[in-house]
Amino acid sequence: MPKLTVVGRTGTAKEFEGSPGASIMENIRDNGFEDLVGVCGGNCSCGTCHIYVGEQFGDRLPPISDDEDCMLASSEYRTPESRLACQVEFSAKLDGLYVRLAPEE
Ligand code: FES
Among 6, 104, 105, CA closest to 54: 6
Using an 8 Å Cβ cutoff, are 14 and 31 in contact? yes
What is the pLDDT, as a whole number, of residue 34? 86
Residue 18: burial class (beta carbons within 10 Å; 0-12, 13-18, 19+): buried
Distance CA 29, CA 63 (A): 23
Residue 36's SS3 state is coil
Ligand 1: residues with CB < 6 A are 25, 38-40, 42, 44-49, 71, 84, 86
Q: pLDDT tens-digit profile of 2-29?
A: 999 999 999 999 999 999 999 999 999 9
Mean pLDDT over each residue of the chain, to the nearest integer: 95
> Ligand 1 centre and the CA of 89: distance in Å?
13
Q: pLDDT tens-digit profile of 32-83?
A: 998 898 999 999 999 999 999 988 888 899 999 999 999 999 999 999 999 9
What is the pLDDT, as a whole number, of residue 59? 87
Q: What pTM, to 2 d.p., does this model score?
A: 0.95
Ligand 1 pocket test, pick from 24, 39, 101 with the greatest ligand atom count within 8 Å of Cβ, gives 39
Contacts (Cβ under 8 Å, ≥6 apart) of 73 = none
